[in-house]
Amino acid sequence: MAARLCSWTLSLLLLLLSFQQSPLHASDTLMANQQLSGNQKLISRDGNFALGFFQPAAEGSNGKWYIGIWYNKIPEQTIVWVANREKPVSDPVSSSLTISDDGNFVLLANHSKSPLWSTNIKNNTAASSTVAVLLDNGNLLVRHESNTSTVLWQSFDDFTDTWLPGNKLGRNKKTGVVKRMSSWKDRGDPTPGMFSIQLDPNGSKQFILQWNSSEVYWTTGNWTDNGFSGVPEMSPANPYPSSRFLFQFVDNDEEAYFTYNIKNDALRFTRTIIDVSGLFKTLIWAEAQQAWTNAFIKPKAKCSVYGVCGEYSKCSETAASPCSCLRGFSENHPNNWKLDDSTAGCRRNIPLQCGNQGSVKVKPNGFYPINSVKLPDNAHKTNAINVHDCELICLNNCCCTAYSHSGTCLVWYGNLMNLQDNIDGSSDSIFIRVAASELSNSGNKRLWLIGIIGGFFALCFGVAILYFLHRRTTMNGLNHDDGPLISFKYSNLQSLTRNFSVRLGAGSFGSVFRGVVSETTAVAVKKLEGFHQGEKQFRAEIAWIAKGLAYLHEECRDCIIHCDIKPQNILLDASFVPKVADFGLAKLLGRDFSRVLTSMRGTVGYLAPEWISGEAITTKADVFSYGMVLFEIISGRRNLEHKETTMEAFFPMLVARKLLEGEVHALLDEGLINGVNERELERACKVACWCVQGNESSRPTMGEIVKILEGVIDVEMPPVPRYLEALSEGSENVKFFSYEADK
């Protein structure tokens, strides 16, 4: 019995000693006599964040471990801070995070007594009482146990690639220290990368995005007490960011910094990052989708990010994947490219050969052209007077990699950076230097042989193809003179539409009929109903649908304002997928313009007030029209409801008032009542009321509307649309906002 009691006492003593050496897993505090190792971690009080050893998910098990802070309640690994970015450890079990004798928070690797990483606190007079605490905002503090108000060190002062709400990004005017965020090297390596953001070290009140700490490729513009001049999305005049975030810029004798906080607890998982692609993003965790969604991205043009595609590649804004290697080059680090990180660029397939090799003279290198491009950076001007001399200058220098001649001879030495597809109408061409074998006849012979083999197999299907084309008599009159657009003869259209027998409805300048191109492809055909009536608008319409509606306002190279959003211009396919059509009145804006002055266009009942007042138009005119359409979708009837009595009710105003009373459910289309989600209904009503605000700056963008309707971001209660309220005071004015049914 005594032996058993002694054994039990010894076990209890060993258990107590083990607790002295490691913290409880649920603790948010590391004491001076404790340490973290292996899979142990600190967890903030409410469980939002955790600190411990981790491996980047993108890289997998590569033997490199880091100390970091991450979101503890999110299933997707999301790191917000890394201590030892450039000095990983190989074994977390034999490594530990602890508080040293001098009161510093240190990382000891592989049982070593010298720290691999340290907080570098100087003159800590109460080292024995030092503790480390992980707060629920993601900030790690080192402070004295008994004095919580004095912070000796905090992770919020040691930025990596993430800016959390409540943190300050700026500079200390007394010490001259500028806080700086830097991207990861790649998605599997937290080593500081090529992209960074910081407050302008020259003293202006703006943030700058840089490549390699030298090339500035985007700025916020100066702070003007109402937001940054180059970031209209953050202006208090825009109700959506201001309803979600509180922005503050502080500039005093000691420091200058910018900070943001969230107003809604539903957005507590919000972060701002400088991505490995060089983009500056604010992301919000969407619980329903279990994914991070973009709330803000700058710059919008990916190719404007300096070095985003790395060396020997070309960037194209219109491509699904903007970066691609030049001919004769292959991807560096292909795995990174698969993760949408092309900054490593490309490498030559075959090295350039120059001069003589022993007694054998090597075959000279050759060039191939790439047309209609924005030329790379760091060109050198020469005195060559023609293209031939320009080529010889490049060919005679082993370091020359490309040349261009358009009145002036330009050559490039070393790596090519920032070659882009033409974006401004220029017709510049560049000639890329590659090894002779890349352009050799043997290569052409191989291609020729492959062509013969391919042609043989193609011939096997030739008769079948010709037979198929013969049966497709509706396609015989195709005209490709207009480039990517296909023109049909009138007789073809008669055949496709069965002599225009199935009328779908009427659009601007004509009626729309159903046509069938193949067994699986139905089309809508517009027939002009007057000689030359609307011909110019009609041609503009078919050319801009070609550009793609999905990129109308925010993502296409040139912003497109539809100008005629209404129910008649929203078509449904067989799967009830909506498609916006009828671009006959659309207006094209250049990338450098935000508004355009144009003649009044659109349909009565959906026109924004700026059309009527003759002001310049922006994409917010479409937003207004969309809001009016959304009211009709909600109610299942025209905005102006004619009741059996003599009373008339303007539906948008009913929604605005019922929102305040919390009774919008009574306004819903009877056919939707059984399957409606009340929160979604209220959200849609709020969006519609924000869309029809008289002041265009108060309306959301279409991108914000999508996020609100998806539940990604929240929205405040809208004010009553005063403009519509004024119009609805008299029946005359109300009728102005009605529309007539198709005749």
Q: Which residues belong to the annotated binding site for ATP?
A: 527
Specify whether the CB–CB gap between 705 and 282 falls below 8 A: no
Q: Is the dihedral of CA 594, 597, 599, 604 positive or negative?
A: positive
C-alpha distances in Å from residue 201, one per residue of 176, 256, 728: 9, 11, 54
Residue in this structure with the two tokens 């993108």, named with its chain if needed: 58
CA pair distance 447, 445, nearest whole angstrom: 5
CA pair distance 583, 534, nearest whole angstrom: 12
Task: State phi, psi for 16 to the nearest 5 degrees.
Answer: -65, -40
Which tokens belong to 379?
Answer: 């060109």
Number of other CB atoms surrounding residue 578 within 10 Å: 9
CA dihedral 332, 337, 340, 345 (to 10 degrees): 20
What 59-62 contacts at long range (C-beta under 8 Å, 24+ apart), as own/partner pairs, is: 59/187, 59/188, 59/189, 60/188, 62/188
Residues annotated as part of the active site: 564
DSSP code, position 595: -
Q: How far separated are the first and last CA of the chain, in Å rounded?
A: 103
CA pair distance 274, 124, nearest whole angstrom: 34
The helix (run of H) or strand (run of E) holding residue 68 is strand 66-71
Closest CA to 284 of 58, 82, 134, 71: 71
Closest CA to 570 of 623, 527, 613, 629: 629
Specify whether the CB–CB gap between 433 and 367 falls below 8 A: yes
Specify whether the CB–CB gap between 332 and 338 falls below 8 A: no
C-alpha distances in Å from residue 542, one per residue of 114, 234, 270, 487: 70, 35, 41, 11
Number of other CB atoms surrounding residue 605 within 10 Å: 19
Cβ-based burial of 647 (10 A; exposed 0-12, middle 13-18, buried ≥19) = exposed
Helices (H), 333-395: 334-338, 387-395
Burial 375-396 (b: 16+ CB within 10 A, else e): bbeebeebebeeeeebbebbbe
C-alpha distances in Å from residue 541, one per residue of 505, 547, 584: 17, 10, 4
Task: State phi, psi for 478 to the nearest 5 degrees.
Answer: -65, 140
Closest CA to 181 of 303, 275, 79, 53: 275
CA pair distance 404, 418, nearest whole angstrom: 15
CA pair distance 118, 158, nearest whole angstrom: 12
Task: State phi, psi for 266 to the nearest 5 degrees.
Answer: -65, -15
Amino acid at 56: P
Helices (H), 533-619: 535-545, 609-613
